Amino acid sequence: MRSRPCTQEGRRKGIKDLAYHEGRKTNRALRYRLGRRTDEALSAISRHVSGSASRLPDVGTADGVMLTRLRQALNCSLCVGIDASFELLSACDDKRLHLIQADALDLPFHDGAFDLIVATAIIEHVANPGQMLRECHRVLRSGGLAIITSPDPFWEKVATAIGHLKEDEHQETLDLVRIKGLLSSTGFDILEARKFMVSPVGFPFEKRLERVMRRFRFIALLLNQLVVAVKPHRGQ
């Protein structure tokens, strides 16, 4: 595991520690939300990637649980996990992953190094979301895909008010319009933007219910957000 420390102390707000890893073992909500984000990422990849996606970084990988599932499903030749928390990276037990302690605002990779980049539940933790997306754009090859998820700002406030989240958990929570705008201004083309997740803990047939809710435009009740964007080929 390589280390590249964060460059600004203010960016450390909201960085998880080992308690987050331990909590995933017993906390149903943490396990469920991770599983749903992973499912949504894999589903988006199946819809939008027709060729190879063998080089993949997971920005904000935490303990690498999602990245392990992505590696298994996609048969990646290079799976890299980036996180600011050395404790969480050290908790990862998948030795086939390449883990780097680094800042999402300053990714330690060459331009165009990756086919696909996943950044789920991380944009709300960084001090400068636009800079994070510029870094994602830089390290993607032309035609490469970026998958972003983030909680809905309204339901984030509700969760904080009822004590489900700590008040200092996130730097800023962005809605779909803001995320899409930042991606577009960075040079991405938006392929898909939608909401998902009825419940933070899950229940049977939830995905089926979500499809019905989207069909009848009850999307305001959904808790999480997904945006899929592509780095266009030069000249497009």
Q: What percent of the chain has pLDDT over 90?
A: 75
For 151, the 3-state DSSP assignment is strand
Mean pLDDT of 85-96: 94
* Exposure b/e, 107-127, CB count within 10 A at least 16 = b: bebeeebbbbbbbbbbbbbbb
Tell me the pLDDT tens digit for each residue of 14-37: 688 888 888 888 889 899 999 999
pLDDT of residue 236: 57
Rounded to whole angstroms, the Cα distance separating 171 from 194 reads 22
* Whether pTM exceeds 0.85: yes
- Name the band, by pLDDT with cuts 50, 70 and 90, for residue 125: very high
Percent of the chain with pLDDT over 70: 90
Confidence of residue 53 (pLDDT cuts 50, 70, 90): confident
Return the CATH fold of 2-230: Rossmann fold (3.40.50)
Give the residue extent of every domain in the chain. Answer: 2-230
Q: Average pLDDT of the chain?
A: 90
